[in-house]
Amino acid sequence: MSLPVELDPPYLDGRSKDEERDYLLSVLWRTRAVFYLPGKAWSHLEAVAIERRWAVGSSDVVLLYGPESALCYRVVRRRPDRGEADSLAPDEVVWLYAVDTDSNWALRYILDQPEPRELEEPTNLFPENARFTLGRSARIYFGDPQVAPPPIRWMPRLPAKMMIDIEEYYANRGQEQRGSSETIRQE
């Protein structure tokens, strides 16, 4: 089960976003959180799920999709009348919090949550497209206060504006000729 924490103020002493993320992930690791990685390596991640389990049978989960994007929620993981639920793909959640500018705020939000004393009733439907699936090559790591966590480095992605359909690009430009030396630039 998860351990209590005390956090430094946000971005203490001018920490960068990466340094802040590394600090918050190391704090989560020390709370004995469970880290789910959909691939084999800590480097070049596209996503990671982190579950902070509570003794009453609920969990606080954060799904990190990159440095900017995250979703966190509280799920009832274990109920006497229903058994175990999948924490990474629930049907209902107690609360839901999403960020799309700085995923460090989602990590901080999870770490700031007090330990629940009793099971809360889930009242929010979980978005179907947000379910986190683990493939056969997935790895699960259990945080340990005695061991430092491996550093997480995100797989570099093209900016959204760069991800365009080449046929659409030429159609919108009115260009007939393809394969020219023209470079597609972010506009």
The one-letter amino acid at 74? R
pLDDT, tens digit (0-9, with 9 covering 90-100), for 1-49: 666 688 888 888 999 988 888 889 889 988 889 988 776 555 556 678 8
User: In the chain, which stretches have pLDDT less than 50?
Assistant: 155-170, 173-187
**What is the domain partition of the chain in residue ranges?**
12-156
Q: Is the Cα torsion angle 178, 179, 181, 184 positive or negative in sign?
A: positive
Residue entry with tokens 């969990």: 59
pTM above 0.85, yes or no: no
